[in-house]
Amino acid sequence: MNVGIVGLGLIGGSLAKAYKSKENMTVYGEDIDQSVQDFAKLSGAIDEPLTEDVLNKCDCILIALPPEAAAAWLIKNAQFIDRHTIVIDCCGTKRKICEMGFRLAEKYGFEFVGGHPMAGTHRWGFKNSRANLFKNACMVVVPKTFDDINLLERIKKVLLPAEFGFISVTTAQKHDHLIAFTSQLAHVVSNAYIKSPTALEHKGFSSGSYMDLTRVAWLNPDMWTDLFLENKDNLLSEIDTIVHSLLEYREAIASEDADSLRALLDEGRKRKQEVDGK
């Protein structure tokens, strides 16, 4: 299989390494940073650069760029993509990129599928990429139609080398609604939490709770700014919800209302058990 990878950061670099580790794979890669692209080839993560001349050779093209950059790449290169090729983006939001991707795919005849690999780390860049990043992780896909069994089988086949544990199929709207809670809000809360002046004194007084809550505060500001603003309607709703909940806790503590505080804590405990099980 011939695979094209656009963007060789953490996600794209890990995809390149995952596909290259399998037999009978030719991996073409492209990155805006020429030094990263050169190093990817030198290290064996890609075989050759992904250029206009080889786009039509690719069975699959995976776009691992921020939404605006992914859209710009598609606009520039859609005309060179062959009709047999399946193009999957890996952006953190889906509505805008899918709208554009579906439109360009219909115009030029290739297949576009929205995608979001639910894996990553708080570090970024090709140097932190690894071939097993996606092993047993979930891959969210947004196809144009949901009743095309042949398309779903094609998607599974081209994603097989990355070793995802399972694939979730959804709409762009549903994806953006859920991701605002499961990912984006978590990054906002973590990033805000670490700004407490007390954080400077945490050593010797912190363990798992601190580490769990602050892990994703170490983020890529440029990437997350783009994602937050693109999904602002859903993210603002989640921020409003958590602010309201925090004010309830604050009021119970400030008024020394033990019964209300205990009820709030027990409600949260039960909610955790309800959504994630024992």
| pLDDT tens per residue, range 221-250 | 988 999 999 999 999 999 999 999 999 999
Q: What is the DSSP letter of 146?
A: S
Which band of pLDDT confidence, cut at 50, 70 and 90, is reported for residue 91? very high
Mean pLDDT of 257-277: 94
Average pLDDT, rounded, for the chain: 92
In this structure, the answer to whether residues 164 and 39 fall within a common structural domain is: yes
Question: Do 5 and 27 contact (CB within 8 A), yes or no?
Answer: yes
In this structure, the answer to whether residues 181 and 252 fall within a common structural domain is: yes
Nearest 5°: the CA angle 230, 176, 144 is 105
Q: Cα(86)–Cα(77) distance, rounded to whole angstroms?
A: 14
Tokens of 117: 């690999």
Mean pLDDT of 125-141: 91
pLDDT at position 266 over 90 = yes
Which band of pLDDT confidence, cut at 50, 70 and 90, is reported for residue 278? low
Question: Which of these, 112, 115, 157, lies nearest to 139 by C-alpha position?
Answer: 115
Give the pLDDT of residue 220: 87
What predicted TM-score, i.e. pTM, was given to this entire model? 0.88
Share of the chain above pLDDT 70, in %: 99
Which band of pLDDT confidence, cut at 50, 70 and 90, is reported for residue 117? very high
Q: Please, what is the angle between helix 232-254 and helix 258-276, to 10°?
A: 140
Amino acid at 196: S
pLDDT digits (tens, 9 = 90+) for 175-219: 999 999 999 999 999 999 999 999 887 887 778 888 889 998 888
In this structure, the answer to whether residues 152 and 15 fall within a common structural domain is: yes
Of 147, 170, 193, the position where a domain reaches its end is: 170
Domain of residue 100, residue span: 2-170
Q: Cα(136)–Cα(119) distance, rounded to whole angstroms?
A: 9
Q: What's the structural domain count of the chain? A: 2
HEC profile of 22-35? CCCCEEEEECCCHH
In this structure, the answer to whether residues 92 and 105 fall within a common structural domain is: yes
In this structure, the answer to whether residues 13 and 140 fall within a common structural domain is: yes
Of 170, 197, 213, the position where a domain reaches its end is: 170
Give the pLDDT of residue 201: 79
Tokens of 152: 């779903």
In this structure, the answer to whether residues 182 and 270 fall within a common structural domain is: yes
